[in-house]
Amino acid sequence: MIEAVDWMRVATGAISTTLDDLRSRARTRGASVAARIIDDLPAFPLLDATTMMQRYQVTSQTAHGGLGRLENQGVLVRRAFIRRTKTRGRPRQVFTAPDLIETLSELLTA
């Protein structure tokens, strides 16, 4: 039990440090969509504009703007998510935070 609690403290510290680094890189404002996206990355490591629209009750333009801003600042990376259905059109665009994924990977392999 003690080891688990110690690991959780280390994990919480590492995740907080990573999020602080992402916030400083993004230079977000307190209640902006971009700031809320960074705060929610541990719960939503893979996100898209539709999820952000629903979660934050914002327009498509605002959700895309926040995700695009974080992509331009190197916080998020855009990935094409290809569905295996017969629907046509562009692949869904999803975003990930490679720095957070790297932190989580290091914690799990340590």
Residue range 31-70, pLDDT digits in tens: 788 888 999 999 988 889 999 999 999 999 999 998 999 9
pLDDT of 22 above 90: yes
Q: Domains in the chain and their CATH numbers?
A: 2-109 (1.10.10.10)
Mean pLDDT rounded to a whole number for the chain: 86
pLDDT in the model for residue 17 = 95
Q: What is the DSSP string of the chain?
A: -HHHHHHHHHHHHHHHHHHHHHHHHHT--TTSHHHHHHHHTTT-SEE-HHHHHHHHT--HHHHHHHHHHHHHTTS-EEEEE---SS--SPPEEEEE-HHHHHHHHHHHH-
The pLDDT-based confidence of 84 (bands split at 50, 70, 90) is low
pLDDT of 18 above 90: yes
